[in-house]
Amino acid sequence: MLSSAEALRKQKKRVLLIGLDAATFDLVAPMLKGGSLPNLQSLIKAGSSGTLLSTIPDLSPVAWSSFATGKNAGKHGIFSFVVSKPRSYEISLANAGLRRAEAFWRILSRRGRKVGVVNMPFSYPPEEVNGYLVCGMDAPGTSSDYTYPKELKSEIKELLGDYTIDYSFVGSLERENREEILRRLFEAEKKRLQLSLHLMRKFDWDLFFVVFVALDRVQHFFWHLMEPNHPLYDEAGAERFREAIPEMYVKMDQLVGRLLEAIDEDTYVVVMSDHGAGPFDNSVPYLNLNDFFVEKGYLSLKSSGAKGEIASLLRGSRALLRKHLSPKMKERLKALLPGAREWMQSFTYFSGIDWEKTKAYATYDEIMSRGVRLNLKGREPQGVVRPGEEYEEFREELVQTLSQLQHPLTGLPIVDRVYRREELYHGECLEQAPDLFVFWNDHAYFCGNALLDKSKYREVKRPGRQFKLTEIQRSGEHRRNGVLIVKGAGVNSEFAFESADIMDVIPTVFYLLGEAVPEDMDGKVLTNIIAGDYLLRRPVSFSSERGEVRSPPPEQVYTEDEAEVVEERLRNLGYIE
């Protein structure tokens, strides 16, 4: 006979939530037919599955923040890898400390549920939870306080030795190095699995969540070796690495299988990805939006080219300093020049702009820049565009102008659509968003922001055999179509739904846990995957509880050293310039 405590635990619903960063059914589906993903296959057969649509744009910080909160970026305030400082032209790196909406681990913790979170991107600095939290890619490194509770860090060290938060590609990706890169990627994920199994066994939990990132990393830099029609296809390299991406899917399936072995049949299983992936043609010209704005008269320079040359020199100097200065010399420089890193970063991207004569500029977004800000009076320090009618008229002019951009060689349109921010988002953080978002045709147009070129277009030279890793040489890129698989009691089996939104995952997880869904979440419970009789017995309930709107921290989340580490990691992964 079960004790009362055991009986209560038997009744209590649990969810194992697994994130496979960048997994896509475009690759999963044919591999399922070949029988090479048995664990995902078993979940799909026993449950419901379909495409999980990512955010617009499908950038990791935006997608993961919308997933974690169940809210659109207009409510959580993360629109890119960087955040524009209020009433300033300066920028800082995005992180969880700047997220304005509560994540699911805080809400569940407040309700007394036990949560475990491992490698959640954009969860740094770690928040207090009823359980434990191990931060992901925005954590500076294992020397930082990247866990809650703090003492968990030493436990991880004792258990695993060296723990890799996120593998950082450094240098180049010549064929000689690629096998080592793949080995290290999987080794890091195996340690993540080992940590997860240790925590799942040691602590009681109602929701356990772990994210594996290897698929995203390998798809960014190995896609051209899988597809013969890719512009960067290298036949000699393909002989060795054609199967690099499919093999990583097989390995991730094996990790999923190990996690499934650690749970009982009463535990719900949810597998999701923050976005999908696909080929990226980086052989097309490189478009610099800010130089284009100069040409159109929307952006003015203080002196023709001079500041741009200084910025170019500074960028080169930064790289040399990072590479050659000793730690002691770096510390002395930082003491002499506090705040120099952020100033230099902002200067190298917005150098020489005559703000009093500038009406619009491209934000420092990521390598495929999508954000455009108007230099608005009262919002920007030296704004010139008046709010109201002038703002709307000029914004419409920009929409029309950008929509007509053409490929300089083919004459074909290169812009798919230009969105006004209110067409994508709503909420108290809407005013922090860029005024416009530009989306390129065919996922094929790189864009830069720094005023470094005499022409708005820069020809991209194919690297050939030396596939040196730079921000313009990723061969795979994000797509909106991710994956979602849900299995457990009351979930329809062998049911394929067309699509769900990434904001729907957490409301659905709350339902599976038997928790009321906060009514201010934008996502919805996926009732179409729930059996009708089960839904009648357990209808969806809502809570009027509103997640706290967090104020930005009064001080910087990162130290100078930590910001440099995170910035370099994002640059090496090709996420920022």
Using a cut of 0.95, tell me whether the model's pTM lies above it.
no
Q: Would you state the pLDDT for residue 92?
A: 81
Show Cβ contacts of residue 31 under 8 Å, excluding neighbours closer than 6 positions.
Answer: 37, 246, 249, 250
Q: Is the peptide bond before 285 cis (omega within 30 degrees of 0)?
A: no
For residue 427, what are its two tokens?
Answer: 């909420």
Three-state secondary structure call for residue 32: helix
- Phi, then psi, of 479 in degrees rounded to 5: -130, 160
Pairing label, strands 447-448, 286-288: parallel
Cis peptide before 463 (omega within 30 of 0): no
Measured CA to CA, the distance from residue 434 to residue 373 in angstroms comes to: 5
Q: How many residues does the chain have?
A: 577
Complete domains list, the chain, with CATH: 13-71+111-281+478-546 (3.40.720.10), 286-463 (no CATH)
pLDDT along the chain (577 residues), means of 10: 45 93 98 98 99 95 98 96 85 89 98 98 96 94 94 97 80 65 94 98 98 96 92 87 97 99 98 96 68 89 57 44 46 44 49 90 67 96 97 98 82 88 97 92 58 42 31 76 98 98 99 98 98 97 78 62 70 61
**How far is Cα 212 from Cα 178, in angstroms, rounded to an integer?**
19
Cα gap 61→517, rounded to integer Å: 23
DSSP structure string for 266-314? TSEEEEE-S-EEEE--TTSPEEEHHHHHHHHTSS-BSSTTHHHHHHHHH
> What is the Cα–Cα distance from 181 to 193, expressed in whole angstroms?
19
Nearest 5 degrees, angle CA 183-CA 32-CA 267? Answer: 85
pLDDT the model gives residue 556? 61
Residue found under tokens 């080992």: 194
Q: Residue 317: what pLDDT?
A: 41
The whole-number pLDDT of residue 151 equals: 97
| pLDDT value at residue 323 | 47
CA 227 centroid distance within chain: 25
Write out the two tokens for 467.
């596939």
Predicted pLDDT of residue 169: 59
Per-residue buried b or exposed e for 433-469, using 16+ beta carbons within 10 Å of the residue's own CB: bbbbbbebeebbbbbbbbbbbeebbbebeebeeebeb
Distance separating alpha carbons of residues 246 and 236, to the nearest angstrom: 18
Query: What is the β-pairing status of strands 131-135 and 115-120?
Result: parallel
If you ran DSSP here, which 8-state letter would residue 376 be given? Answer: B
User: What is residue 559's predicted lDDT score, i.e. its pLDDT?
Assistant: 73
Tell me the C-alpha to C-alpha distance, in Å, between residue 566 and each of 105, 141, 494, 563, 576: 24, 8, 42, 5, 11
